[in-house]
Amino acid sequence: MGFIDHVRRCNNFVPGGYLPFTVDGAVVGSLRPAFAEALVDWPEVFRVSRSNVALAVDHPGLAERSHAVAGVLETLVRRGVLSHIHGERYPATPGRREEAKLLIDRAAAPYFGIRAFGQHMNGFVREGGSLRMWIGRRSADRVNFPGKLDNLVAGGLPYALSLEENLEKECMEEAGIPVSLACSAVPVGVVTYNALSSKGLKPDTLYCYDLELPADFTPSCNDGEVEEFYLWPVEKVLETVRDSDEFKLNCNLVIIDFLIRHGYIGPGERDYLELVSRLHPSPPF
């Protein structure tokens, strides 16, 4: 067990066999042949071949395309191919969020293998030369990763919100951080990984933030996602990440990036070069 194992586990997607998903000539995702098969009943929406799946909708607008696909997804839920509709829409894009070619419900994102964007924030307190980090414990009733440790604030980034809006919203909902503090969050880079899930490819892009908090601030959860917060010395966070699986999988990567940027993981670490390089892969399409 070590830092690099978390990074490798989040990058367990092996290319091969997946079909590119193209919209308007641009590859925006990558899907399993079995899921492609489930789309053949809608030739007016998807053109499914042995070598790729292309959006067939002729409507030029983002809204029309997205509406046509949303209709298919509803039927796929009724047929049991998809488990549910989440209600937030993610951009299917060859690169940036602003280049979205299509919007797809968040629950269907891994089936189409589209890039999913999120925001993760490390909150910390400095006292003299030492640093302590705020860590959340996810509630036991969560569907995903119940009881696991988490970053102070973390969440998916729906297309409808700007990065600033979503971060402020998540700061308040997940940790009771008022806008007056949240606006001091510093964007510090991006962590990416290409994971294989039971539903398909997850090429995730996490915008990372550091927020230095005053010593007298205590977070409080307003949406039931977190059951408890801890203020741990950075050394304890480092050891927990390095030696255990207590953190939600992708939070390990965000903390490793934090520890590298702040010098707590240095070039003496055996896997330093691989860690830095593999925290930043591009999507495999």
Q: Which residues bind its own copies (CB under 8 A)?
A: 95-96, 163, 186-190, 192, 205, 207, 260-263, 266-268, 270, 272-274, 276-277, 279-282
In the complex with its own copies, the residue whose CB is nearer, 80 or 214, is 214
In the complex with its own copies, the residue whose CB is nearer, 67 or 280, is 280
3-state class (DSSP) for residue 12: coil
Closest distance between its own copies and the C-beta of residue 170, in Å?
A: 15
Closest distance between its own copies and the C-beta of residue 30, in Å?
A: 17
Is residue 31 within 8 A of residue 38, CB to CB? The reply is no
In the complex with its own copies, the residue whose CB is nearer, 59 or 280, is 280
- From the centroid of its chain, how far is CA 270? 27
The two structure tokens encoding residue 100: 């979205």
Closest distance between its own copies and the C-beta of residue 82, in Å?
A: 28
In the complex with its own copies, the residue whose CB is nearer, 215 or 273, is 273
Closest distance between its own copies and the C-beta of residue 282, in Å?
A: 5
In the complex with its own copies, the residue whose CB is nearer, 163 or 195, is 163
Q: CA-CA distance, 256 to 271, in Å (whole number)? A: 12
- 233 bridge partner residues: 132
Give alpha helix (H) positions in 198-282.
234-243, 249-261, 272-278
Extended beta strands in the chain, E state: 19-23, 26-31, 46-48, 53-55, 89-92, 102-105, 116-127, 130-138, 149-150, 153-156, 186-197, 200-212, 226-233
Q: CA-CA distance, 172 to 78, in Å (whole number)? A: 35
Closest distance between its own copies and the C-beta of residue 233, in Å?
A: 18
Closest distance between its own copies and the C-beta of residue 94, in Å?
A: 11
